[in-house]
Amino acid sequence: MKFGLLYEIGSFDTSREGILKAYENTIEQVKLADELGFDYVWLVEHHFTSPFSFSIAPEVFFGALARETKNIRLGFGISVLVPGMNHPIKIAERTAVLDYLSGGRVDLGTGRSGGWSELGGFGADPHTTKESWDEFVRAIPKMWTQKTFSHEGRFFSMPEREVVPKPYQDPHPPMWVAVTSEGTEVDAAERGLGSFGLSMGGYEAQEAKIKNYRRIIKDCEPVGAFVNEQVQTVNFMFCDEDPQRAATIGRSLLDGFNYGTSHGVPVKEVYSSPTYQIGGFLPTLRQEALGATDDTGIPPGLAIGDPERIIGVVKKWESIGVDGINFVVQATETLEQEDILNSMRVFAREVMPKFKSADEEEVQKAEVA
C-alpha cells in the first residue's frame, strides 16, 4: 500500500500574506512527509476557485518541492488536457524538466478539469473535453520517446520537431487519468493508464470499478511505452491517539473542505453537458464527507480517528484492490499547522508500518538516513 498527500492549497485568508502562508505551510508539510516515508504528493490544477484552491501553476510549485525533498514522488494530480488551458507540447516539456530537477520522481496525472467555471474562463468547450483529452494523452508519450514528432489532429497540429528534453525516467514518467465520471476507469484501463480515483464512494461500488479496471487492462493497448496498472484513491486524514479529538478536528477538516467547494455545485447544475455528469471530484467528495456516519460521527470510509480506526479503514480499502491512498490533510487553512504535522507523525509511526514489508521499511529508513 502506497500513501500520499493531495493538495488544493486554499485559504479563507485571500490576502497576499494569507496565500503565502498557505504555500509555506504546504511546503513544510511535504518536507515532513518526505522524511516520514510518504510515497507521493499530488498537486491539483485549478483556476478561478478562490478561496478553495490557489494551486494554479503546480509545475512552478513542484520546482520548489523538487529541491526541498529527496524521495517522495511528485504527481500532477491532474494536468488538464484541454485546448486553451494547456498545450500538449508544454505539458511534455515541463514534465520532463521537473523530472530532471527531482531526479526522476515525477508522475503525470491527466484529466479534463474541475468543472464548468474553469473551462468557461478559458473559453473551452465542455462538450469536447473527452475527445481532446484522448488526443493529447496519446501524443504526449510519443513526444517523450520519439526522436522527432509531428501531428495533424482535431485539437492540435504541429510540424515535425524534436521535443526536448526527453524525461529523466526511462522511457518516461508513469501516466494516470483522474477517475470520477462513470466509465472513466474503462478509459484508463483501455489505454494502460493508472487509475487516479478522485472520489471514494462506497466500498462495493469502488470494488466493482476496480475489478472492471483490472479485467480490461490485461488486454489494453497502452498509449505510452508501458502499462501503469495501479489504482489509487483519495481520502481525508486526521490521525490522533485521542479518538474524540481526532473526530472533532477531522470534522473541522471536512467542514472546511465542504464550505470551500460549495461554489462548484450550482454551476454544474445550471450548465450541464453529456460529457460531465452532475457530480465529479469536488461535489462527489463533498457528498461523501457529508454522508452517513458511524458511532464516531465520521463517515466509515474516511481515515479520520485514532490509529486503530484508521488501520481498519485502510485495510478495508486494501482488501477491495486499492494500491494507494492519497490524503487531503488540510482545506482552506482550516486546521492548525502543528495539528496537521502531529497527525502525519502519528500516522507514520502507528499506521504506515502495518502496510509496509520489512524490506520496504529498511529501504525507507536508509533513504531517510
Say which residue, 288 or 300, is predicted with more confidence.
300
Of the listed ranges 176-180, 194-198, 354-358, the one predicted with least confidence: 354-358
Interaxial angle between packed helices 16-36 and 58-68, expressed in degrees from 0 to 180 and rounded to the nearest 10: 50
Burial class (CB in 10 A: 0-12, 13-18, 19+), 119: buried
103 CA to centre of own chain: 20
Of the listed ranges 9-18, 138-147, 202-211, the one predicted with least confidence: 202-211
Total count of residues recorded for the chain = 369
Q: 116 falls in which pLDDT band (50, 70, 90)?
A: confident
Say which residue, 365 or 225, is predicted with more confidence.
225
The region that residue 78 occupies, defined by phi over 0 for left and psi between -120 and 50 for alpha, beta otherwise, is beta
**pLDDT attached to residue 360:** 64
DSSP state of 84: T
pLDDT at 117 over 90: no
The H or E element that residue 75 is part of is strand 73-80
CA gap 255, 261 in Å, rounded: 10
Pairing of strands 73-80, 106-111: parallel
Task: Give the chain's domain count.
Answer: 1
* Percentage of the chain modeled with pLDDT above 70: 88
Contact 256, 273 (CB under 8 A): no
Q: 176 falls in which pLDDT band (50, 70, 90)?
A: very high
Q: For cell 523538487, what's the residue?
A: 66
- Region 253-279: mean pLDDT is 67
pLDDT in tens, 27-76: 999 999 999 999 999 999 999 999 999 999 999 999 999 999 999 999 99
Structural domain containing residue 114: 2-368
CA gap 248, 250 in Å, rounded: 5
pLDDT in tens, 127-165: 999 999 999 999 999 999 999 999 999 999 999 999 999
Closest Cα partner for 100 from 63, 69, 137, 138? 63
The H or E element that residue 156 is part of is none
CA gap 208, 214 in Å, rounded: 10
Closest Cα partner for 7 from 36, 46, 63? 46
- Region 163-186: mean pLDDT is 95
Specify the CATH number for the domain of residue 287: 3.20.20.30
321, amino acid identity: G
Q: For all residues of the chain together, what is the average pLDDT?
A: 91
